[in-house]
Structure 1
Amino acid sequence: MRGCSGIFFCDLDGTILPHGRKTVDQAFFDLVRRAQDKGYCFCISSGRYHQSLLSFFKDVENDLIFSASNGCRILHKGTDLIEPHRMEYSTVQAILADFARWDVIPLLSTLNGFYVRADHRDHPRVAALLERDYTHVYKDPSEIPDAMLQMTALCRGNRDELLIKAKERYALDLHVFSTGVQLFDICPTNKGESLKEIRTLLKVREKDSWAFGDDENDLSMLRSAGKGYLMNNAATHLHDQGFEIIDDLIETIDNIIIKHNFQP
């Protein structure tokens, strides 16, 4: 991207988009344009599948970088900026077996679409996903393309217990973190690694990067930025991680732009 001297990495759900809201406020789109005029760019970093993520930003889609599936896929103007991070086939099969044993609902992000199991189609959250044209149904795991980006577990009231088990089994080689109500993700990278890749690609210095988030999957991103900000609505146990806690994303970014000096 031309003219990007500084970059803001922003989570979507709970950060740009308050919980319960269906659309991004026009004030954020106006912020993007104001910031661009000053030499800043934005990356929207989310655990969402890329087509779900892009749907919120149609007005400014070509002005943004998107880090989808927790950094597994990084896009600008519909093109991969960096080779997507994929999971090994044998690992995918092992995790699917664990998901079956744990009685969770698999939500699978691949390069070729979003996949849900046929026998879960009546679950309300799965039914909502099936309304999207990028969601596919599988009956047998052999029907899932060997192009897995991220595997999400939708739990049945026991997320915290199963998250511990998943971390014990997979955290040495993969990234495992909570991402929403009764959800946790397993993927080959994280938002922090994505941030570093994008910053290197754009030749932006660490001091000229900022990150904003509200959940466990955002912590690596907040740590990797020049400065990380945690939204006040984040879970209480995240408030002691050493980040500045804020209420107003747009006001904070506007203040950074006013005060920041790009000089060494």
Structure 2
Amino acid sequence: MNRKLIALDLDGTTLNDVQQITSETHSVLNKLRDQGHIVSIATGRPFRNSHYYYKQLEMTTPIVNFNGAWCHNPSDKDWDYGYHKSLSRDLAISMLSLKDDPEVQLIAAESRDGIYVHGDYVPYPDFFPDGVKVSKQLSSETLLIDPTSVGVFTNTQQNQSKIEERIIKHYGEAVEVRTWGGFAPCLEIVAAGVQKAMGVERIASYYNIDRKDILAFGDEENDYEMIQYAGHGVVMKNGNDKLKVVADDLTGKTNHDNGLADYLTNYFNL
């Protein structure tokens, strides 16, 4: 079997419903790396709250953060295949116009190593892994750089489409809006053209892995281009119905029942 690049979404895919990597998942990924395959994370999360999983899995490979806006290798600061796509600072500040919508619980502008927030809502337990004290208030006085993304967290997933339409109407083709649901529904705004497949393609190029040898796993609409791009795109049993339409295959089990580990075990005959 050719060497594969295995690109993994985190929430709803690699992580179970309590944001943990199970021992079964860890063991399977270790076996695949021992066989020479490349395992990388491709997540909508910033690195500040995905680095724990990167370290837990003892990774040395590149990672894709912010839904494709930042591709980098934390274990090699001189890795020259990486890139970073930022948003306009003025555009990010103008997103504060959404703060009066009663369905918006938090607006968070993220840079590679900082976070600026408006609101007190904590979307999920490890959103501030180092404590809320690391954040700054989002304002024109505090945000002095072009951020990587802006996250708009809503009450429910059903409210997302209305707010997404508002964002697209106002900003048009200047941005991409990526969504995910679950217990922390979020609209993530990144620069136009940004999506996870950009980062996965860059990593595959670095390792000289053909597109047909890319396996990608995801569960939400922000995984759409990655699943579509991969030679073998797999959507979780618990995944979004729109995403399942473009999948090459589905897992037989959900993320909370070791669906990823189960699928990889069968696919690679471990």
- Report if TM-score (shorter chain) is over 0.5: yes
Residue 256 of structure 1 corresponds to which residue in structure 2?
Answer: 267
Count residues in correspondence: 251
Contact 2:64–2:72, Cα closer than 8 Å, also in 1? yes
Offset, 1:46: 0.9
Deviates more, 1:7-16 or 1:84-93: 84-93
- TM-score, with normalisation over the residues of structure 1? 0.83
- Whole-Å separation in 1 of the counterparts to 2:185 and 2:59: 33
Letter of the 2:263 partner, please give it. Answer: T
* Paired AA for residue 252 in structure 1: Y
User: Which runs of no fewer than 5 residues in structure 1 stay unpaired?
Assistant: 260-264
- Could you say what the CA RMSD is over the residues aligned between the two structures, in angstroms? 2.6
SS of residue matched to 1:63: coil
Query: Are positions 1:228 and 2:225 aligned together?
Result: no
After superposition, residues 35-184 of structure 1 pair within 5 angstroms as: 35-78=32-75, 79=77, 81-94=81-94, 96-100=95-99, 102=101, 104=104, 105-117=106-118, 120-121=119-120, 123-125=121-123, 129-130=127-128, 132-133=130-131, 135-138=134-137, 140-157=139-156, 158-170=159-171, 172-180=173-181, 181-184=184-187
Residues 72, 83 of structure 2: 8 Å contact kept: no
CA 203–128 in structure 1, closer or farther in 2 if over 3 Å, else same = closer
Which residue does 1:187 correspond to in 2? 190
The 1:97–1:136 alpha-carbon spacing in structure 2 relative to 1, beyond 3 Å, is closer
Unaligned runs of 5+ in 2: 254-258
AA paired with 1:256? Y
> CA 1:48–1:112 in structure 2 vs 1: closer, same or farther (change >3 Å)?
same
CA distance in 2, matches of 1:139, 1:18: 31
Residue 125 of structure 1 aligns to a residue in which SS?
coil
Indicate conservation of the 8 Å contact 2:116/2:138, yes or no.
no
| TM norm structure 2 | 0.82
Q: 1:62·1:76 contact (CA, 8 Å) conserved in 2?
A: no
Q: Which has the higher strand share?
A: 1
CA 74–139 in structure 1, closer or farther in 2 if over 3 Å, else same: closer
